[in-house]
Each structure stands twice: as structure tokens, then as C-alpha cells.
Amino acid sequence: MAVVFLGIGSNLGNKKANCLTAIDKLLAGGSEVVKISSPYDSKPWGVTDQPDFVNMAVEARTTMSPRELLDALKKIETDMGREPGQRWGPRLIDLDLLLYDDLIIQSDDLVVPHPLLHERDFVLMPLSEIAPDLVHPVIGKKIVELKEKLCNETDHFSEQQIQD
């Protein structure tokens, strides 16, 4: 089985519940969820005039190919009610394939590792919680190192772990 890491985010409706529902649907689709990060509140990235997000990361095992997994993630988004909209705009649910084993894939509609993974604090914070020593296959640095580097380079680090 392949080891995959996914990013999950929502900034509409019950954001935390939306993320947890997406994880349930991933499980129902046959993937084995191994680790789930805490939910984190985060500021919007790209388009800042929108509600804050809740973001999480998941480590899973799957027998799906990268293409099949991407299609399954898009289906979960659609099934949950996500509609096409503004790039980086508000969304009920967003599922990103961050890493698939140590594969490097470059195609028109599938890039692994996620091309912006190392630039997004809202991805690195939850991912570093569940896989701090995971090495980015292109950059060659641990996830925790990428997170620390980004923290040092930016004036804000928006993530706050949500306390229940």
C-alpha cells in the first residue's frame, strides 16, 4: 500500500465538521487513515478577503494510484457540495494530495509533491504535527525544517491549534 499525505481545509459552514466528514468519506472509500492532525485555525492564503479556514493533515494508506486517489478526492469534494469557484476562494471543503510515497509526478493536472506545500503555513503546521521527520522528495528537507524556515521568513504564522 502507498503512504499518502493529504491536506484538508474548509472555511464555510461548520468547518471542523466538514473536515472530519471528508476523512470519514476517505475511510468509506477504502483508504486506511493512519494519523490525523489536530484542526488548526488559519488565515486565508491567496485571496484574503474571506473567512478563516480550518486545516488538517492526514496520513493514509491506499491501493489507489495517484490518479485514482486524486479522482477520489475530487469526488468527495463534489459529493460534499463543493462547487467551482474563485481560485483560492471560499470553499466548503478542499482536499489536496500533498505527497504520495516519495514519488515525483509532473503532469498538466497532477503534480506531486503538491507544488506549494513548502510555501503554505496552513499545510506545514498540521503536517509537521503528524510527520515532522518526513522528507520532501524534491527539496530534501524534513517537513519540520520547512515549517521552521517558513516561520522565520514570514511576519505572521497564522495557525492556531483549535482547542475542544
Integer Cα distance of 58 and 33 in angstroms? 7
What distance in Å separates the CA atoms of residue 25 and residue 100, rounded to the nearest whole number?
Answer: 19
Active site residue 91: yes
Q: Which entry of 67, 91, 109, 164 is annotated as an active-site residue?
A: 91
CA distance 57 to 108: 24
**Given the residues 94, 109, 121, 164, the one annotated as active site:** 94
Cβ contact 69:30 at 8 Å: no
Q: How far apart are CA 76 and CA 94, in angstroms?
A: 9
61 is catalytic: no
What is the radius of gyration, based on Cα positions, of the chain?
A: 15
Catalytic residue (choose from 87, 96, 133, 155): 96
Q: Give the dihedral sign, CA 86/41/128/29.
A: negative
Of these residues, 67, 71, 82, 101, which one is catalytic? 82
List active site positions.
Answer: 82, 91, 94, 96
